[in-house]
Structures are given as C-alpha cells and as structure tokens.
C-alpha cells in the first residue's frame, strides 16, 4: 500500500474515532434532564468554531482530494515526523476517551452551571483539571502532522488555544463557586493541561 494512502486511512480512522467519542457522550448529556445554565461567551465559541471548521474543510480535502489546496503542503514534513503524529494522535484519542468516560454525565461541551454535578478526580482528572482540552490540542496538532499539512497543524491549534485560554479561568471560577474548598484543594494537587511537576524535597 502506498505510504500516503496509509496516512490518509489513519487520518480518517482517527477522525471517526474522535467523532464517535464526542457523539456518544454528548448524547448522554442531551438525555440528562438535570437543569443546565449556560455561561459561555461568544468569542470563545467563534474561536472553537474556526478551529473545527478549518479541520473539517482541510481534513476532507486531505482525505478526498489531497493537495487541492497546494499552499497547505508547501512546508515539507519529514516521514519520521508524520509517524510521530500517528503515535501522538493515538495517545490523544485514548486520553479523550478516558476523560469523557471518567467525567460521565458531568461533561458538557459549553461552560455551564449544572445541578447535581460531581467533582471528578479519577482517571486523567487525578493529575489534570482539563484533560479533554489537552486531548484536543494533541489531536489537532497530531492530525496536521499525519496529513503533512501546515494549515491543519497550526491554525486549529491557535484558535482552539484561544478558546481554552478564555474558558479555563471561567470554568474554574464556576467550580470553585460550586465546590468551595474541595475544588481549591483539587487545584493544588493538579495541573491545568499537564500534570503538576512535584520537585523532590531536598531537606
């Protein structure tokens, strides 16, 4: 099989896996009858939409008619870097699935105040407060590497980063309001997007 066809198949399968994970857990949220109050601004949603739309348009171009947008392939990606993208993409999809599984019905795709929501500190949430954001940043970057497409590699990451930066503080403020000291204690032992590095005690 041609190596480029292999990359295209892997790219397609990863997109299907991410879509399936999102729809499966989003469906559970839609079925939830608990009261939800949306607390999301427009700018972050626009940034997230640009990231998703760029991935959709340039991703389908890569799968169905690669190099139609020739400028997006003007930076050559070495083969080893594209295979590295395959490995990190697999890790990002695994993190996405585990994060959704442990978050369960506490998940929502927007910033919300939700009745009877549990404070989750299991699975990836044991070390990271926002592992779903971490997973998407990994997957956006890795998908672009697999495709060898600089637009897919950088543009979605930039716009999704804007969404993440705008959301995290608001989400954490909301959770502090809901869980008080319990969430403050949770913040002390976890990192936002990566595990907190604990330096050894030198005493």
Specify whether the CB–CB gap between 89 and 138 falls below 8 A: yes
> Hey, what CATH class is 3-189 in?
mainly alpha
Mean pLDDT of 106-128: 73
pLDDT at position 70: 95
Q: Identify the pLDDT of residue 119.
A: 85
Cα angle value 124/128/131 (rounded, 5°): 65
pLDDT at site 196: 86
Cα 149 to Cα 137: distance, rounded to the nearest angstrom: 16
Rounded mean pLDDT, 150-176: 93
Is the C-alpha dihedral spanning 170, 175, 178, 181 positive or negative?
A: negative
pTM of this prediction? 0.88
pLDDT at 168 over 80: yes
Q: Give residue-wise pLDDT tens across range 27-76.
A: 766 665 555 555 556 788 899 899 999 999 999 999 999 999 999 999 99
For tokens 């896996």, name the residue.
17
Segment 174-198, tens digit of pLDDT: 889 888 999 999 999 999 999 987 6
CB atoms within 10 A of CB 132: 22
Beta bridge partners of 36: 114
């Amino acid at each position: 099989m041609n190596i480029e066809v292999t990359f295209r198949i892997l790219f397609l399968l990863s997109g299907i896996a991410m879509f399936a994970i999102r729809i499966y857990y989003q469906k559970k949220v839609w079925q939830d009858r608990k009261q939800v109050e949306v607390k999301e601004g427009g700018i972050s949603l626009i940034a997230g939409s640009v990231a998703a739309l760029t991935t959709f348009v340039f991703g389908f171009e890569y799968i169905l008619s690669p190099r139609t947008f020739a400028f997006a392939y003007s930076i050559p990606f070495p083969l080893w870097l594209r295979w590295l993208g395959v490995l990190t993409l697999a890790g990002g999809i695994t993190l996405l699935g585990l994060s959704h599984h442990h978050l369960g019905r506490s998940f929502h795709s927007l910033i919300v105040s939700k009745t009877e929501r549990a404070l989750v500190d299991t699975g990836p949430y044991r070390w990271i407060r926002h592992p779903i954001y971490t997973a998407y940043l990994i997957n956006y970057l890795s998908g672009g590497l697999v495709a060898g497409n600089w637009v897919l590699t950088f543009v979605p990451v930039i716009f999704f980063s804007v969404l993440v930066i705008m959301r995290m503080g608001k989400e954490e403020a909301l959770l502090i309001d809901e869980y008080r000291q319990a969430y403050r204690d949770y913040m002390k032992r976890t990192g936002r997007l990566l595990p907190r590095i604990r330096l050894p005690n030198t005493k």
